[in-house]
Chain A
Amino acid sequence: MAQLTQEQKEAYWKYNIRLTTILLVIWFVVTYLLGGIWAGTLNEVVFLGFPLGYYMAAQGSLAIFVVEIAIYAKLMNAKDLEFGIREE
């Protein structure tokens, strides 16, 4: 079983925190600003027939959440391999 050194552990955790922060910032902007506070203004624009504010809250945000989690899983799983962590 490969043991991580203290340095590796710190690097791994730092990467994790940075990725998590970026994803959460996007999550916040999409949900509470685009799909919330700014939605009224965005409604002035029409996209595929949808008023844009409504579209963001009904579809855009959901699709972005799915993509965000997929990216998280992909990047973290790749990071595991990079650090020699192989569970199975």
Chain B
Amino acid sequence: MNLNKVFGLYTVGFIAVTILIGIAEAVFGLSSRWIGWIFMALSMGIYVVIGVVTRTSDADEYYVAGRGVPAIYNGMATGSDWMSAASFISMAGALSAQGFSGLAYVMGWTGGYLLLAVFLGPYLRQFGKYTIPDFLGARYEGNTPRVIGVFAAILASFTYLIAQVTGVGLIVSRFIGLDFNIGVFVGLVGVLFCSVLGGMRSVTWTQVAQYIILILSYLVPVVVLSWKLFGVPVPELTYGQLLQKNNARAIQIANDPVEKATRDKWAEEAKALGEKIKDPAVPAAEKEKLTAAQKAATAQARSPAAPGAKWENYLSVPKGVGMWNFLALTFCLMVGTAGLPHILTRYYTTPSVRQARTSVGWSLFFIFLLYFTAPAYASFARNAVFTGLVGAKVSELPAWVTLWAPAGLFSVVDKLGDGVVQLADFVVKSTDFVVLATPEIAGLPFVITGLVMAGGLAAALSTADGLLLTIANAISHDLYYNVINPKASLIKRLTITKVFLIITALVSAYVATFRLAIIVEVVAWAFSLGAASFFPALVMGIWWKRANRYGAIAGMLVGLGTTLFYMVGSRFFGVSWFGTNTVASGVFGIPLGFLTIYVVSLLTPPPPKELQDFVADIRYPKSGGAAEPIGRPGDAAAH
């Protein structure tokens, strides 16, 4: 079947259904709850159907989608595999709060693909097996590097998975009003349908379908908003003017006497809370609440611009330790992008090395479409706050404020009691409102908000799919088949993979129901972990023939160990090297990992001749056929 035709029809069909729902809303007054239900049922239905249609029990199909995914589709699949609930829902919001410093995420999560393109992607495809620990095991002779790889892959992927599952629960409970825990399990059914039935093959094609929903729903609200404000439907271009407007307004707000009075009130409150915390009679639980309240009050008391500054804080570039942390975080996110196993595995699925190269390009292009737009989202939302909300009467708030305030994302507190909203009266609890409320800010009907829900769900589910498969394959393929029982039959291996898919999914859902606050924080840590454990060993394995088994084992352990040490130390025990934030922990482990591999390899005997030939093999694409699949050499011609 012609793929372009299938996905073209699918896209047109999805848009048509969205329009139909919009008509139903306008003409018959379809309620928002119903719209939420329809979008969830529709999108989940699509994913389940794809899962059923593409089911397979062939090893090559199950592990690497038969190495038959054309570059452009692998690019889309990688895009949605990559962009998680956090990228879709939270990133634009985080940018609106952090300004320039937040751009570390935008640059880091895109620039990493260059490292992937030139250092790893094409070579992994030329190697042509199933998993990342496969490569470590083959290149570094044996099971020890493989098992360390399995451990690191699970460590990095599992925390990430829990965050996705939490994201599904939040989206479902916010839009449909289902209980969070039920939402989590509903999402899991969708994920399992794909991964259990057809492994990588189903996951790949579902991810392509998910990418299309994800990108449409992300772009539509902000494109319409740009059209309404500037008459140009390219928000990425028009938000430059908005930055200027916001900047002027922020400086005006910084100097406004009424705003100043409001901020002073917050500062007083923060001070009073500080006194209370010092009181030894206050119980510990109460103290925690007071500390949080004090932090919030301090944030409200902050002026949006320094006195006399040309640019508001949002546009100012940090200096000193702030700049160091910005660069360190960017570096960790970039290297982490090229070190996360669920992304690396995707480059095993293209038909050839050439297509693997092109595919990295397509991946970044599809990811770029969203990340390029995220800062625009942030500016449009800030503009809505600056011009629509600030200065409004408390009795006549804009529609988007009254719609989203009950969700607990933000509140408007009339601190001075003058009946007018000041910027300091706007208390943001979750910056997620930036993406969620933009359709309403743009004056779009609820159907678009439903579309955004479907997009967020697609982002969370697609990433969960990829992670789940990575974890289950690490356990069943690497640990069970390669280490414990190399004689296991294909059927037995696939059965074990399926069992572990279900177990992993259930465990992650169970952990997600605890709603641990630390999870969100830990997700960003996964990048440093992946970066420090995999990246040095993979890159050295391809680019330096002399790298040997001892070097790799030592390097992975040192990289992982240093990073874990700094993470736990800086987060819980006050360790601080050069004032580096916990989130950028990998900045020490990555170079140390490289150094260790180099030194230890030179101190120990060089790898045998076969391995040096193996490295040479990976460097030059072969003529006349794709790499041979394991165990089924006879079928190679079929690809």
Residues of A within 8 A of B (CB): 1-4, 9, 12-13, 16, 19-20, 23-24, 27, 31-32, 35-37, 39-40, 43, 46-51, 53-55, 57-59, 61-63, 65-66, 68-70, 72-73, 76-77, 80, 84-88
Which residues of chain B are near A70, meaning CB under 8 Å? 361
| B118 adjacent to A72 (CB under 8 Å) | yes
Shortest C-beta distance, A51 to chain B (Å), equals 5
Q: Which residue of A lies closest to B108 (CB)?
A: A31
Please state if B317 and A43 are interface contacts (CB–CB under 8 Å): yes
Indicate with 1 or 0, residue by residue over B319-361, a CB within 8 angstroms of chain A CB atoms.
1000100110011001000000000000000011110011011
Measured CA separation A62–B619 after assembly (Å): 28
Query: Known pairs A48-B237, A57-B106, A72-B118. 10 more at Cβ < 8 A?
Result: A36-B326, A39-B100, A50-B240, A57-B107, A62-B107, A73-B357, A73-B358, A76-B122, A77-B354, A85-B623
Instruction: Give bound CA distance, A42 to B575, whole Å.
Output: 34
The answer to whether B117 and A54 have CB atoms under 8 Å apart is no
Instruction: Select the residue from A2, A20, A66 with max chain B CB neighbours within 10 A.
Output: A66
List, in ascending order, chain B residues with CB within 8 A of A55's CB: 240
Chain A, Cβ-Cβ closest to B330: A31
Q: Which residues of A contact B364 (CB under 8 A)?
A: 65-66, 69
Q: Is the CB of A9 within 8 A of B620?
A: yes
Within 8 A of A (CB), among B29-53: none
Nearest-Cβ distance from residue A56 to partner chain B, whole angstroms = 9
- Chain B residues within 8 Å of A, Cβ to Cβ: 100, 103, 106-107, 110-111, 113-114, 117-119, 122, 236-237, 239-244, 311, 315-317, 319, 323, 326-327, 330-331, 334, 351-354, 357-358, 360-361, 364-365, 368, 371-372, 375, 616, 619-626
Task: Answer whether A37 and B327 are a contact pair too, CB < 8 Å, given A69-B114, A87-B624.
Answer: yes
Among candidates A35, A51, A66, residue contacting B311 with C-beta atoms closer than 8 Å = A51
Chain A residues whose C-beta falls within 8 Å of the C-beta of B311 in the assembled complex: 43, 51
| Given A36-B330, A43-B317, A66-B364: A87 in contact with B625 (beta carbons within 8 A) | yes
Contact in complex: A65, B354 (CB < 8 Å): no
Looking at the complex, which one of A51, A61, A72 makes contact with B243 (CB distance below 8 Å)?
A51
CB pair B375–A87 under 8 Å, yes or no, is no
Q: A31-B107, A39-B100 are in contact. Are A2 and B365 (CB under 8 A)?
A: no
29 contacting pairs across A/B (C-beta < 8 A): A12-B620, A13-B620, A20-B118, A20-B119, A24-B114, A24-B118, A31-B111, A32-B327, A32-B330, A39-B317, A40-B316, A40-B317, A43-B311, A48-B240, A49-B239, A51-B243, A57-B107, A58-B375, A62-B368, A65-B364, A70-B361, A72-B114, A72-B361, A73-B358, A85-B620, A85-B621, A86-B623, A87-B622, A88-B626
A4: B residues at CB distance < 8 A: 620
User: In the docked arrangement, what's the CA distance between A80 and B239, Å?
Assistant: 42
* CB-based contact B236/A59 at 8 Å: yes
Once the chains bind, are A1 and B624 in contact (CB under 8 Å)?
yes
Q: Are B623 and A66 neighbours in the complex by a CB distance under 8 Å?
A: no
Q: Which residue of B lies closest to A19 (CB)?
A: B118
A36-B327, A36-B330, A51-B315 are contacts. A87–B626 as well, Cβ < 8 Å? yes
> Complex: how many Å from CA A24 to CA B115?
8
Quick check: A61 and B354 within 8 Å, CB to CB?
no
Contacts of B106 in A (CB 8 A): 57-58, 62
Among B323, B352, B371, B372, the residue within 8 A (CB) of A88 is B352
Contact partner of A54 among B315, B360, B361, B620, CB < 8 A?
B315
Residue of A nearest to B241 (CB): A49
Name the contact of B360 in the complex, choosing from A50, A59, A73, A85 (C-beta under 8 A).
A73
Q: Which residue of A lies closest to B326 (CB)?
A: A36
**Among the listed B317, B360, B372, B620, which residue makes an inter-chain contact with A62, where contact means beta carbons less than 8 Å apart?**
B372
Q: Which residue of A lies closest to B376 (CB)?
A: A58
Residue among A46, A58, A77 making CB contact with B358, cutoff 8 Å: A77
Q: Which residue of A lies closest to B361 (CB)?
A: A69
With a cutoff of 8 Å between Cβ atoms, the chain B residues found around residue A12 in the complex are 620
Distance of B312 from chain A, by nearest CB (Å)? 10
Nearest CB in chain A: distance from B127 CB, A: 14
State which of A23, A62, A87 has its C-beta within 8 Å of the C-beta of B354.
Answer: A87
Q: Tell me the nearest residue of chain A to B626, going by C-beta.
A: A87
Q: How far is the CB of A4 from chain B (nearest CB, A)?
A: 6
CB distance from A74 to the nearest CB of B (A): 9
Assembly CA distance A88 to B67 (angstroms): 12
**Are A50 and B243 in contact, with the CB atoms below 8 A?**
yes
Please give the distance in Å from B627's CB to the nearest CB on chain A: 9
Contacts of A84 on B, CB cut-off 8 Å?
623
Across the interface, name the chain B residue whose C-beta is closest to A1. Answer: B624
Q: What is the CA–CA distance of A86 and B118 in the complex, to the nearest angstrom?
A: 20
Smallest CB–CB gap between B324 and chain A, Å?
Answer: 10
Residue from A4, A31, A63, A86 whose CB has the most chain B CB atoms within 10 Å: A31
Chain B residue nearest to A51 (CB atoms) is: B315
Q: Is the CB of B620 within 8 A of A27?
A: no
State whether B100 touches A57 (Cβ < 8 A): yes
Q: Which 4 A-B pairs have the closest CB atoms?
A: A49-B240, A40-B317, A73-B357, A87-B352
A27 x B114 contact (CB < 8 A):
yes
Closest-CB distance, A23 to chain B (whole angstroms): 6
Rounded to whole Å, the gap between the CB of B369 and the closest CB of chain A is 10
Closest to A33 in B: B327
Q: Chain A residues with Cβ under 8 A from B242's Cβ?
A: 49
User: In chain A, what residue has the closest Cβ to B356?
Assistant: A73
Measured CA separation A1–B331 after assembly (Å): 41
Bound CA–CA A63/B372 (angstroms):
8
Taking a contact as CB atoms closer than 8 A, the residue among B323, B351, B622 that contacts A37 in the complex is B323
* One of B118, B365, B621, B624 near A80 (C-beta < 8 A): B621
CB distance A87 to B621 under 8 Å?
yes
Residue in B237, B244, B622 whose CB lies within 8 Å of A1: B622
Pick the contact of B624 from A40, A58, A69, A86 — CB < 8 Å? A86
